[in-house]
A and B are shown apart, each in its own frame.
Chain A
Amino acid sequence: MTTNYETREHDVLIIGAGGAGLRAAIEALAQGASVGVVCKSLLGKAHTVMAEGGIAAAMANVDAADNWKTHFRDTMRGGKFLNNWRMAQLHAQEAPERVRELEQWGALFDRTETGDILQRAFGGHTFKRLCHVGDRTGLEMIRTLQDRGVQQGFDVFMECTVTRLLTDGKRITGAFAYWRESGRFIVFKAKSVVIATGGIGKAWRVTSNSWEYTADGMALAYEAGAELMDMEFVQFHPTGMVWPPGVQGLLVTEAVRGEGGILRNKNGERFMEKYDPKRLELSTRDVVARSIYTEVKEGRGTEHGGAFLDISHKPADYVKKKLPSMYHQFKELADVDITKGPMEVGPTCHYMMGGIRVEAETAQSTVPGLFAAGEAAAGLHGSNRLGGNSLSDLLVFGRRAGLAAAAHAKSVSHALVNTAQIDAAEKELLAPFANTGGESPYAVHRDLQEVMQNLVGIYRTEQDLMKSLVELEKLSARATKTGVEGTRMFNPGWHLTRELKSMLLISEAVARAALARKESRGAHSRIDYPNLDDASWGKKNNIIVQDGSTMTRRESPVPEMPADLREIVAQE
């Protein structure tokens, strides 16, 4: 089969135009590389835009005692020591500089009285650390990066989806993609590829993630032979909207709690006093999510199955100024005035701690020339991410990935692309058109979301996880038989057939890793193994990798921290 396709050539190809992808692109350009950025949506619409609370960076503008060591310690403790220590160290050390750089590129943050960047409190952070602009920090960040990149001259391929990485033996040579608008194919020749495609939230029914979050990048990397790590750790954000039904799962920023919001059950009890009396509402996300879940499960939930989150004790003007988008979101979508009464909230699938295993300094995966940054990569957050550590992750490791990808591109020449791989990718994409009368991919997607929601959710058991694997296999069989109505022109049903494949593959990786880890740690909670088991599992990461066409799991030791960092972590 040879359908026509256009061909483009770049030193560095970046897949994904959120914070990590854009920061990588800017850095690769600065190194003199030619850069292409491919994204599934329009530029500036990536999920980073939704980030509300802020960027964690130990700038010590508000709490003078803050420093990278404390940020490092908070991050390691939050991740229950499964983090890659070197990533956590680099992240804590470099985040302040990355924030200052954003400011120099035109981003505006809220200020302290002395005119410095203001920082707010957030769960798990010892000090007030999150640089923010009201509750729309992500928008400010993405506009700044987007305009910087465009001015510096990267090529953007909007509404374009990569479905396969091209390789030459083990090395990356490019990527195969299609234009969403026309359905036509495009081949990118590249010396380095950076994956910055985010996570897999759309595999769950109650999720804060958009349609884009279908694990594409993780699936691409896995299929190209890269290792995935920590896939059992899926973060459920404690506070998503629960009512009305159409907005279920929509994010309610942690900044509400950072600004003093209080959680109560239907009896008016401040239940966090029971679960984490010291940190209360500003405990880590895994703890707060489980606490709300438990309150609801034990019959103390609100009418619509959530908890009350109340900020109305603060002056109305203050709430509107510090949480403007939350104010509008509840007013317009739920008829609730948050300056007058409480919100109803419950856990929502939010973030993937696991992902492509990368080397700390360079963000390179186990496949030469293939890099990953942001949510698509694993390591920094260990078993649980602290709020605010994501935006800083995007900046720190986006930059590092761009730097290393450009350096790698200088060291190699363009390889010939493998036409057999292109033929296979074309064939795979077009197959659903031949399934006349086949099932709608939307039906399979809905069932996948139920399986992940019910069997691979906040609390897990061996029985459920075993069952999920059986169900996933059935769904995969159904997915191969899904059909497409209409033509190749901007056809979301057709697009979903491919995304479904990525979601199913990576959902299986999640279930397998979750089944293996017989303990509860961070975001991974096993009812049948409710405790931390440091002796058996405290020093092991689960690795998922393809062996032939079989998904296999093995364990890899958590890298040993040097003595000076061990000392930092041990301090009170």
Chain B
Amino acid sequence: MAETTFRVFRGDASGGQTVDYQVPVAPGMVVLDALHYIQGHLAPDLAVRWNCKAGKCGSCSAEVNGRPRLTCKTRMDVLPKDEPVTVVPMRAFPIIKDLVTDVSWNYAVNRKIPPFQPKPDVEWKISQMDVDRVQEFRKCIECFLCQNVCHVLRDHHKKETFGGPRFFVRVAGLEMHPLDGANRAPLLKNELGIGLCNITKCCTEVCPEDIHITDNAIIPLKERVVDQFYDPFTMVVRKIFGAK
């Protein structure tokens, strides 16, 4: 059976380097299969997160040959043949060990988002068209690949002031819920720092669920913030009568 060299990062917060492993390649094989082979036969202490192995849980994110991917959905036959496959952890998050990173910051951001609040006296009738529109955002599997490639987080390290694409998607899923009555524009402007996004669409490119993060979530949310905070008429009124 043909073999491929896997160059996998081994190490922790104190440092590390890639280590080569020879892995037999089977038809239809994905990168996560290779990582499991390494765990099962060559390095039982290789730290990898995974759960469903079907692209539904978003646990197995890593950078394969430099590109952020779900390893369970990265087929070997899309990678260049006869070249080593490099697998390293997501770079935007602190490393714990090998391919496992500390993603706890994401959970802290999520906690800031006000939950679904039904409009008062709501009648629970919803049209399928409204469901379809919001489904795009709600199918997010929280793989955090969008967070990983977002340069505001990855290169500028703005974790204190910026929520990142994942949470704009989440807010969009709540804001565009047909029966939701909460207003999350102040949160978007102040705590999630949506203004820092300059719509380079890197997040959209890596999304394994094909969510149009920039076009369908971030831009409409930016418009909501602009409407509420930067509308010229309201600004004048606010100047004259004081901030409300």
Measured between alpha carbons, how far is A446 from B97 in the docked complex, in Å?
A: 25
Q: How far is the CB of A76 from chain B (nearest CB, A)?
A: 31
Pairs across A and B, CB under 8 Å, 22 listed: A45-B52, A45-B59, A49-B141, A106-B116, A108-B126, A110-B131, A111-B128, A115-B125, A133-B138, A136-B56, A181-B97, A210-B50, A244-B29, A247-B28, A250-B53, A329-B54, A334-B28, A442-B39, A490-B96, A490-B97, A492-B44, A493-B45
Q: Name the prevailing secondary structure of the B interface residues.
A: loop
| B residues apposed to A, CB below 8 Å | 12, 26-30, 33, 39-41, 43-59, 73, 75, 96-98, 100, 103-104, 107, 110-111, 115-116, 118, 124-128, 131, 134-135, 138-139, 141-142, 174, 177, 180
> Which among B47, B50, B180 is the interface contact of A211 at CB below 8 angstroms?
B50
B118 and A104 form a contact (CB under 8 A): yes
Measured between alpha carbons, how far is A251 from B53 in the docked complex, in Å?
A: 10
| Residue A68 at the chain B interface, CB threshold 8 Å | no
A332 and B73 form a contact (CB under 8 A): yes
Measured between alpha carbons, how far is A210 from B56 in the docked complex, in Å?
A: 12
B45 and A491 form a contact (CB under 8 A): yes
A484 and B51 form a contact (CB under 8 A): no
A246 and B33 form a contact (CB under 8 A): yes
> What residues of B have a CB within 8 angstroms of the CB of A250 in the complex?
53-54
Q: How many of chain A's residues have a CB under 8 angstroms from any CB in B? A: 70
> Which among B40, B59, B116, B124 is the interface contact of A446 at CB below 8 angstroms?
B40
> Which among A111, A140, A324, A486 is the interface contact of B45 at CB below 8 angstroms?
A486
Stretch at the interface among A83-91, A144-152, A230-238, A543-551: A144-152
Measured between alpha carbons, how far is A79 from B103 in the docked complex, in Å?
A: 42
B110 and A147 form a contact (CB under 8 A): yes
> Which among B57, B96, B107, B134 is the interface contact of A49 at CB below 8 angstroms?
B57
- Contacts known (A42-B59, A109-B131, A139-B141); A484 close to B28, Cβ less than 8 A: no
B73 and A50 form a contact (CB under 8 A): no
A139 and B107 form a contact (CB under 8 A): no
Q: Which of B56, B125, B135, B177 has the most CB of A within 10 A?
A: B56
Q: How far is the CB of B155 from chain A (nearest CB, A)?
A: 25
A211 and B54 form a contact (CB under 8 A): no
B96 and A251 form a contact (CB under 8 A): no
Interface string of A472-498 (1 = CB under 8 A from B): 000000000000111101111110100
B115 and A49 form a contact (CB under 8 A): no
Q: How far is the CB of B56 from chain A (nearest CB, A)?
A: 6
Top 7 A-B pairs ranked by shortest CB distance?
A244-B28, A493-B44, A106-B116, A486-B45, A115-B125, A490-B47, A442-B40
Nearest opposing residue in chain A for B103, CB measure: A42
> Which among A114, A324, A334, A441 is the interface contact of B125 at CB below 8 angstroms?
A114
B12 and A489 form a contact (CB under 8 A): yes
> Which among B46, B96, B135, B177 is the interface contact of A134 at CB below 8 angstroms?
B135
- Contacts known (A45-B59, A106-B116, A110-B131); A50 close to B107, Cβ less than 8 A: no
A441 and B54 form a contact (CB under 8 A): no
| A residues apposed to B, CB below 8 Å | 41-47, 49-50, 100, 103-106, 108-111, 113-116, 118, 133-134, 136, 139-140, 143, 147-148, 150-151, 156, 158, 181, 210-212, 243-247, 250-251, 324-325, 328-329, 332-335, 440-443, 446, 484-487, 489-494, 496
Measured between alpha carbons, how far is A114 from B97 in the docked complex, in Å?
A: 52
> What residues of B have a CB within 8 angstroms of the CB of A493 in the complex?
39, 44-45
Q: How far is the CB of A488 from chain B (nearest CB, A)?
A: 10
Measured between alpha carbons, how far is A211 from B35 in the docked complex, in Å?
A: 14
A489 and B97 form a contact (CB under 8 A): yes
> What residues of B have a CB within 8 angstroms of the CB of A133 in the complex?
131, 135, 138
Nearest opposing residue in chain B for A491, CB measure: B45
- Contacts known (A111-B126, A136-B139); A328 close to B55, Cβ less than 8 A: yes
A108 and B39 form a contact (CB under 8 A): no
Measured between alpha carbons, how far is A156 from B29 in the docked complex, in Å?
A: 35
Q: Which of A45, A104, A114, A243 has the most CB of B within 10 A?
A: A45
Nearest opposing residue in chain A for B144, CB measure: A42
Measured between alpha carbons, how far is A188 from B131 in the docked complex, in Å?
A: 42
Using A111-B127, A133-B138, A245-B29 as known contacts, list a sample of 10 further A-B pairs with CB atoms less than 8 Å apart, ordered by residue number in A.
Answer: A47-B52, A105-B116, A111-B126, A115-B127, A247-B28, A251-B54, A324-B139, A333-B28, A489-B47, A492-B44
> What residues of B have a CB within 8 angstroms of the CB of A244 in the complex?
26-29
B30 and A333 form a contact (CB under 8 A): yes
Measured between alpha carbons, how far is A45 from B104 in the docked complex, in Å?
A: 14
- Contacts known (A246-B26, A334-B28, A490-B96); A485 close to B45, Cβ less than 8 A: yes
> What residues of A have a CB within 8 angstroms of the CB of B125 in the complex?
114-116
B45 and A492 form a contact (CB under 8 A): yes
Measured between alpha carbons, how far is A333 from B30 in the docked complex, in Å?
A: 8
Measured between alpha carbons, how far is A442 from B40 in the docked complex, in Å?
A: 5
> What residues of B have a CB within 8 angstroms of the CB of A247 in the complex?
28, 30, 53-54
Measured between alpha carbons, how far is A136 from B134 in the docked complex, in Å?
A: 14
Q: Which of B26, B43, B45, B48 has the most CB of A within 10 A?
A: B45
Measured between alpha carbons, how far is A103 from B57 in the docked complex, in Å?
A: 22
> What residues of B have a CB within 8 angstroms of the CB of A103 in the complex?
124
B57 and A108 form a contact (CB under 8 A): no
Nearest opposing residue in chain B for A48, CB measure: B57
A490 and B118 form a contact (CB under 8 A): no
A45 and B57 form a contact (CB under 8 A): yes
Nearest opposing residue in chain A for B113, CB measure: A147
Measured between alpha carbons, how far is A50 from B54 in the docked complex, in Å?
A: 9
Nearest opposing residue in chain A for B74, CB measure: A332
- Contacts known (A42-B103, A494-B45); A49 close to B56, Cβ less than 8 A: yes
> What residues of A have a CB within 8 angstroms of the CB of B97 in the complex?
181, 489-490
Nearest opposing residue in chain A for B180, CB measure: A106
A333 and B75 form a contact (CB under 8 A): yes
Q: How far is the CB of B232 from chain A (nearest CB, A)?
A: 35
